């Protein structure tokens, strides 16, 4: 009887010890972890969502990735590319939206594909008739990259590139942006806005050295509400045209207005520097 009781107590103890182990989840590194990259180029958000396989000593090009076959350009679900605004790839307009991204690699050229069916697993359900566009590019050698990665490079106000890099090869998808047209359209929508959007639009044109357009915009801002900011922006635009005689008193006025609200005078140092610099140019 005593031995039976001991055995029962021992079995119960094992059950209580083992139960937590069964409930625990085993976490291991994923063979092809999820990854994403996103930038804002001009006024367009560009993002790539993908899974990142590793080389692991394998022959990739012409091996794991077959020549002349549609490849999901990653692992697991098809790679997805998203544009927040309309862009141009090659010579073809591409509307804002999300596309699945496929590649047909070959030794000397790759075909890069945007497919309209954005939610698909791998290339198993790929249909060529759903391609929105195809563009041929020449792959380039690159330093070894163990895990496949996407980078968005060479991005500025008017262009960007989506680079696929893996093993020792790289291919780039060139993108043209409509930033100038999109900004111009936004400016046209400012008619019912306050002074701030007009001032911001003028600062944008100041950075681009479009001084005459900037002056017409900042005058709209000042006509609504004169502030230290739009007054200084006008001074900067005039200085950009070499008109320091008119720019200097406007900078003085901007400083007087800004000093009355010091907590919001975030360009105080710039205004004071301009006054020192421009004084000698009158």
CATH code, domain carrying 193: 1.25.40.10
Two tokens, residue 282:
């009158």
With 70 as the cut, is the pLDDT of residue 22 above it?
no
Distance set, CA 225 to CA 42, 54, 250 (Å): 28, 58, 15
Q: 226 in a domain, yes or no?
A: yes
Q: Specify the long-range contacts of residues 34-40, CB closer than 8 Å, at least 24 apart.
A: 34/76, 35/149, 35/150, 37/150, 37/151, 37/152, 38/152, 39/152, 39/155, 39/160
- The structure's pTM equals 0.67
Same domain, 62 and 85: yes
What is the residue whose two structure tokens read 């091996």? 63
Of the residues 141, 157, 177, which one is the last residue of a structural domain? 177
Cβ atoms of 268 and 257 closer than 8 Å: no
pLDDT digits (tens, 9 = 90+) for 225-265: 999 999 999 999 999 999 999 999 999 999 999 999 888 99
Sign (positive/negative) of CA torsion 73, 118, 91, 111?
Answer: positive
Per-residue pLDDT band for 10 (boundaries 50, 70, 90) equals low
Same domain, 114 and 76: yes
Of the residues 125, 152, 177, which one is the last residue of a structural domain? 177
Per-residue pLDDT band for 18 (boundaries 50, 70, 90) equals very low
Residue 14 has what pLDDT? 46
- In total, how many domains does the chain have? 2
With 60 as the cut, is the pLDDT of residue 83 above it?
yes
Cβ atoms of 75 and 101 closer than 8 Å: no
> 166 forms bridges with which residues in the sheet?
169
Of the residues 177, 197, 215, which one is the last residue of a structural domain? 177
Share of the chain above pLDDT 90, in %: 76
Residue 112 host element (H or E)? strand 110-115
179-188 vs 195-207: helix crossing angle, rounded to 10: 150
* Cβ burial 65-86 (10 Å sphere, 16+ → b, else e): beeeebbbbbbbbbbbbbbebe
Q: 21 in a domain, yes or no?
A: no
Same domain, 169 and 144: yes
Cβ atoms of 138 and 118 closer than 8 Å: no
Same domain, 153 and 40: yes
Per-residue pLDDT band for 7 (boundaries 50, 70, 90) equals low
Same domain, 126 and 197: no
Q: 185 in a domain, yes or no?
A: yes
Domain containing residue 95: 34-177
Residue 193 has what pLDDT? 73
Same domain, 113 and 228: no
With 90 as the cut, is the pLDDT of residue 202 above it?
yes
Same domain, 42 and 163: yes
Residue 183 has what pLDDT? 84
Q: Would strands 87-89 and 34-41 be described as parallel, antiparallel, or unpaired?
A: unpaired
Per-residue pLDDT band for 6 (boundaries 50, 70, 90) equals very low
Residue 27 has what pLDDT? 83
Per-residue pLDDT band for 9 (boundaries 50, 70, 90) equals very low
> 177 forms bridges with which residues in the sheet?
87
Same domain, 173 and 40: yes
Q: 225 in a domain, yes or no?
A: yes
With 80 as the cut, is the pLDDT of residue 110 above it?
yes
Helical spans, DSSP H, in 105-227: 179-188, 195-207, 211-224
Same domain, 155 and 41: yes
Q: 93 in a domain, yes or no?
A: yes
Residue 16 has what pLDDT? 46
Same domain, 197 and 78: no
Q: 24 in a domain, yes or no?
A: no
Q: 20 in a domain, yes or no?
A: no
Average pLDDT for 59-72: 96
pLDDT digits (tens, 9 = 90+) for 160-184: 999 999 999 999 999 999 998 988 8
pLDDT digits (tens, 9 = 90+) for 262-278: 889 999 999 999 999 99
Same domain, 50 and 104: yes
Residue 1 has what pLDDT? 45
Q: 214 in a domain, yes or no?
A: yes
With 70 as the cut, is the pLDDT of residue 144 above it?
yes
Cβ atoms of 120 and 144 closer than 8 Å: no
Widest CA span in the chain:
111
190/183 Cα distance (integer angstroms): 11
Same domain, 131 and 47: yes
pLDDT digits (tens, 9 = 90+) for 122-131: 677 889 999 9
């Amino acid at each position: 009887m005593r031995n039976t009781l001991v055995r029962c107590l021992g079995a119960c103890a094992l059950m209580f010890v083992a139960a937590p182990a069964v409930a625990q989840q085993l976490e291991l590194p994923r063979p092809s972890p999820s990854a994403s990259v996103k930038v804002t180029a001009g006024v367009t958000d560009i993002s790539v969502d993908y899974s990142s396989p590793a080389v692991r000593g394998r022959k990739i090009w012409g091996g794991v990735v077959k020549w002349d076959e549609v490849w999901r350009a990653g692992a697991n679900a098809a790679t997805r590319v998203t544009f927040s605004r309309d862009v141009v790839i090659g010579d073809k307009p591409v509307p804002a939206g999300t596309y699945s991204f496929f590649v047909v690699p070959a030794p000397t050229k790759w075909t890069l594909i945007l497919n309209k069916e954005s939610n698909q697993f791998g290339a198993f359900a790929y249909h060529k008739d759903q391609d929105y566009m195809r563009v041929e590019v020449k792959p380039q050698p690159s330093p070894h990259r163990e895990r496949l990665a996407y980078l968005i490079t060479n991005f500025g106000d008017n262009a960007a590139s989506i680079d696929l890099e893996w093993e020792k090869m790289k291919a780039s998808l060139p993108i043209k942006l409509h930033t100038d047209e999109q900004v111009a359209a936004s400016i046209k929508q400012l008619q019912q806005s306050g002074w701030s959007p007009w001032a911001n639009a003028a600062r944008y044109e100041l950075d681009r050295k479009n001084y005459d357009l900037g002056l017409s915009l900042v005058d709209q801002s000042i006509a609504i509400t004169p502030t230290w900011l739009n007054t200084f922006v006008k001074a900067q635009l005039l200085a950009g045209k070499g008109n320091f005689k008119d720019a200097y008193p406007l900078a003085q006025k901007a400083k007087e207005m800004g000093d009355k609200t010091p907590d919001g005078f975030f360009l105080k140092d710039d205004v004071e520097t301009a006054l020192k610099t421009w004084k000698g140019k009158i």
